[in-house]
């Protein structure tokens, strides 16, 4: 069973096999975690994302899917990019959010990653309520069969850390 740990801090400074990027569908960088990973990781990540777009994802990476690139200058071997759903009051998109975590673990398994750092996917600019996002993240990681030994949720602030701590129980 995967060990789940919580850390408050900057995901770009965590030394793990794979860092998960809460990417936008373009894969070309953006704000929040996505922008920070691209800035800190450097041009190697952007070049790899451009190559992925050219070869497979011309219209963008679909929501809930995940792909990997080298990590550039990050203290990790790989970046796993996943596109979280935008939260909606009208439509239950929880399955797409859970898919981000499942697909990221699947890609981590393909890479042979033993340690993976996740942000709180979709809980920033995409508006997902933090407590619900934390619950979905923790439940999905616990319920997904994986060879990953440790999933580390790297949470930017105290509020997110508290929400994940409550979900972890």
Is 34 a catalytic site residue? yes
**3-state class (DSSP) for residue 126:** coil
d(CA 143, CA 99): 12
What pLDDT digit, counting tens, does each position of 63-109 carry?
Answer: 999 999 999 999 999 999 999 999 999 999 999 999 999 999 999 99
Out of 17, 34, 95, 109, the active site residue is: 34
pLDDT in the model for residue 30: 85
Those residues with Cβ within 8 angstroms of residue 100's Cβ, 6 or more apart along the chain or in another chain: 64, 66, 82, 83, 84, 85, 121, 122
Q: Could you count the other beta carbons within 10 Å of the beta carbon of residue 143?
A: 10
Q: Tell me if the domain spanning 3-168 has CATH number 3.40.220.10.
A: yes
Contacts of 162 (CB under 8 A, 6+ apart): none
pLDDT score recorded for residue 163:
98
- What token pair was written down for 95? 């399955």
Residue 28 has pLDDT above 80, yes or no: yes
Task: Give the distance, in angstroms, between the CA of residue 15 and the centroid of all CA atoms in the same chain.
Answer: 15
Q: What is the mean pLDDT of residues 37-42?
A: 96
pLDDT above 70 coverage of the chain, percent: 100
């Amino acid at each position: 069973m995967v060990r789940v740990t919580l850390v408050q801090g900057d995901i770009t400074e965590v030394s793990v096999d794979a860092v998960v990027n809460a990417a936008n569908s373009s894969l070309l960088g953006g704000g929040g975690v996505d922008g920070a990973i691209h800035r800190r990781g450097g041009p190697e990540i952007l070049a790899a994302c451009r190559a992925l777009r050219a070869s497979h994802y011309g219209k963008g990476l679909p929501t809930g899917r995940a792909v990997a690139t080298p990590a550039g200058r990050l203290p990790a071997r790989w970046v796993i990019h996943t596109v979280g759903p935008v939260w909606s009051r009208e439509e239950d998109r929880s399955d797409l959010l859970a898919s981000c975590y499942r697909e990221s673990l699947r890609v981590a398994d393909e890479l042979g990653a033993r340690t993976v750092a996740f942000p709180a996917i979709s809980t920033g600019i995409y508006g997902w309520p933090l407590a619900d996002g934390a619950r979905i993240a923790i439940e999905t990681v616990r319920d997904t069969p994986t060879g990953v030994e440790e999933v580390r949720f790297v949470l930017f602030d105290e509020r997110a850390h508290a929400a994940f701590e409550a979900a972890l129980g």
